[in-house]
Amino acid sequence: MNHSIYSADRSTHLKIVVVALVAGIAVAGFGITARTGSDDSLTQTARVMKAGKPVAITSANTLLVR
């Protein structure tokens, strides 16, 4: 058995690529199956906000008279 990736032969590299590919597919498959389901309760509706009266904001404690 070869313990160094630099001196490994072609079949060892192929095994590493296959294991990584299978692990990636497994993680992606788990993520897809975890997300699927009924999202009827999670639907969002648009809410309309109307602007009110203009407000003047200052950093001083004095009254602003217009």
Please tell me the predicted confidence (pLDDT) of residue 32.
87
Structural domain count, the chain: 1
Please tell me the predicted confidence (pLDDT) of residue 63.
66
The boundaries of the domain holding residue 34 are 10-38
**Does residue 53 belong to any structural domain of this protein?**
no
What is the block-wise mean pLDDT of the chain (66 residues), using blocks of 10 residues? 75 92 96 72 76 77 65
**Does residue 27 belong to any structural domain of this protein?**
yes
**Does residue 2 belong to any structural domain of this protein?**
no
Q: What is the DSSP string of 8-64?
A: --HHHHHHHHHHHHHHHHHHHHHHHHHH-S--GGG----------S-----SSSS--
**Does residue 62 belong to any structural domain of this protein?**
no
Please tell me the predicted confidence (pLDDT) of residue 15.
92
**Does residue 19 belong to any structural domain of this protein?**
yes
Nearest CA among 1, 29, 27, 28 for reference residue 15: 1
Please tell me the predicted confidence (pLDDT) of residue 8.
81
**Does residue 56 belong to any structural domain of this protein?**
no
**Does residue 54 belong to any structural domain of this protein?**
no
The CA distance from 8 to 17, in Å, is 13
Please tell me the predicted confidence (pLDDT) of residue 54.
82
Please tell me the predicted confidence (pLDDT) of residue 41.
64
